[in-house]
Amino acid sequence: MSSPAGTAQVTASLEDARLRRFAVLFELEKKARRCERLEELGFVIVNETHNLVRYRQALFWEREGKGGRVAALSGLAVPDRSAPFVVWAERLLAWLATHRAQGGSFGLSDLPPQWQEDWASWFPPQALLVPLSAARAGVVGFVLLVRDEAWTAAEEVVVGNLADAYGHAWFALRRRSPWYRRLLRQRWRNALVLALVAALALFPVHHSVVAPVEVVAKDPAVVRTSVEGVIDTVLVEPNQTVEPGQPLVALDKTRIENRLEVARKARDIAEAELRQTSQQAVFDPESKPALAILRGRLEQSQSEVGYYEQLLERALIRAPRAGIAIFDDADELVGKPVALGEKVMMVAAPEQVEAQVLLPAADAIALRDALLGCQASGSWTRQDATEWWKERGGVIAEQRDKRKADLSDKVPESALTVALRKRGDQVGVA
C-alpha cells in the first residue's frame, strides 16, 4: 500500500509533466505567430513539433487547388519535388486528403493494399494525420507524423490544438499580398498595369542558369587495350602531341614471351617428328598413316606461334590518330592490370573542344543549338588550342605534385578555371 507522501510526489510529477507540455505548446504557437515567411513556418511545423510529441518523420502537405504539394519535410531545408520519395508522398497525401479528410491516427493495416508495400519501404507502421484549417479558408493542408509506437488519444488532442494555430498562421502568411496585387486593387491603375503587362509580353524573355562548366575534348579517340596484361611503361606525357601510329603504352611482355617460347619449342619438336616419320615411311609403309596426324600437330603449333607473335605486337599500344594524349598521371597507369578492351587514355584533336555543363533536372531549360557547347571565335586556331591543352596539362601536373607533397586528396580550388580565364577572350560559353 503506497504512502500519502509517495502519492503526492507522483501527482506533483504528473502535474509538472503537464505544465511542461503546455509550456512547449504555447512556445510553438508563439513561434508560429512570429514566422515571417512560409518557409520558416513549414520548418517549425515539421521539425519543432518534435518538442511536443515524439515522431520519426514529419511531412507538411499544402493544398493547392484540386491537388497539393509537399511544402516541408523534416530534416530537409527545401524538399526536392523531383525526388522519388517526394513524388510518392505527394500522391499519398492527396489520397489521404480525400479519403481521410478528418485526420486521426491509423496503422499500416488500415491502408489499401496498393499503398501498404511502398509505405513499408518509406515509413514506420504508425501514423497520425492532422488537418490544418483556418476560419475563412477551410483546410489549408495536412501534417503527417509517423513513428513506430501507436498514438494516444491525449497526443491526438494536443497536436490537434497546435494544428489550429499552425493553420491560422499559414493562412495569414499566404494571404499577405505582394505589391503588385495591392496595385491591381486600385481600379484606376488596372488599365495601366494590364497595358504594361501586354507590352512586356512582346519582348522575348531570356532564360539563364548558373552551373559549373568544364572544357573537354569533342569526339576523342579512345585508346583501349587489345590484350590482357599489366602496364609496364607509359611512353608519352599527359597532353603531349602525338602522331598516328606513335607508341603510347607498353604492356608487360614477360608472360607473352614465355608462352611464345614454349610454342616455338613445340613447333620445332613437331617439325622434327614429322621429318623423322617421313624418312621412316620410305622403308616402313605402316608409318604413313601417322604423317597426317603429325602434319596437323605441326600446323597447330605454327598457328600458336603466330598467335603469340601477334599478341606481342599488340602489347605495344599505338596512337589511332594525330592529336593530344589525354590522361591524368602516368605514374597511376604504370603497374595497373588491365583487361581486354579497357580504356587507358584518349587522343583528341586540339582544336576540337566543347564545354560540358552538368545541370540538375530542376534547372534544365531549353537552349538553342547555337548556344550549346563551346563557341570558338575566328582567333581560336590549332596552335592556340594546342597551347591551351599544354597549359591544362601543366595545371594538372601542378595539382598532382601538390597532392603528393601534402599527402591529401584535396585539389586547389578551380585551378582549371584559371586556365580557362586566360583563354576567355577566345572561347565563350553560353
Q: What is the pLDDT of residue 149?
A: 92
**pLDDT higher at 324 or 193:** 324
Q: What is the pLDDT of residue 57?
A: 92
Other Cβ atoms within 10 Å of 143 Cβ, number: 24
**pLDDT higher at 402 or 33:** 33
Q: What is the pLDDT of residue 406?
A: 58
Q: What is the pLDDT of residue 399?
A: 60
**Of all helices (H) and strands (E), which one includes residue 249?**
strand 247-251
Q: Which long-range contacts (CB under 8 A, 24 or more apart) does 274-280 make?
A: 274/298
Q: What is the pLDDT of residue 371?
A: 44
In this prediction, residue 375 has a pLDDT band, given cuts at 50, 70 and 90, of very low
% of the chain beyond a pLDDT of 90: 8
Task: Give the span between the Cα atoms of 175 and 186, in whole angstroms.
Answer: 18
Q: What is the pLDDT of residue 395?
A: 56
Predicted confidence (pLDDT) at residue 349 exceeds the cutoff of 80: yes
Predicted confidence (pLDDT) at residue 86 exceeds the cutoff of 50: yes
Instruction: Select from 3.30.450.40, 3.10.20.600, 3.10.20.30, 1.10.10.10 the CATH code of 4-179.
Output: 3.30.450.40
The answer to whether 267 and 301 have CB atoms below 8 angstroms apart is yes
- Ramachandran angles phi, psi of 362, nearest 5°: -70, -25
165-179 pLDDT tens trace = 888 888 888 776 455
Task: Give the span between the Cα atoms of 301 and 305, in whole angstroms.
Answer: 6
Q: What is the pLDDT of residue 181?
A: 46
Domain ranges of the chain: 4-179, 253-314, 347-429
Mean pLDDT of 154-163: 88
The answer to whether 214 and 355 have CB atoms below 8 angstroms apart is yes
Predicted confidence (pLDDT) at residue 336 exceeds the cutoff of 80: yes
Predicted confidence (pLDDT) at residue 128 exceeds the cutoff of 90: yes
C-alpha closest to that of 228 among 253, 258, 262, 246? 253
Task: Give the span between the Cα atoms of 381 and 423, in whole angstroms.
Answer: 12
- Ramachandran angles phi, psi of 266, nearest 5°: -65, -35
Prediction pTM value:
0.41
C-alpha closest to that of 136 among 174, 105, 100? 174
CA 39 to chain centre: 26
**pLDDT higher at 61 or 364:** 61
% of the chain beyond a pLDDT of 70: 77
- Dihedral of CA atoms 185, 186, 191, 195 in degrees, nearest 10, equals -70
Mean pLDDT of 142-161: 90
**Of all helices (H) and strands (E), which one includes residue 68?**
strand 67-73
56 burial level (CB within 10 Å; 0-12, 13-18, 19+)? middle
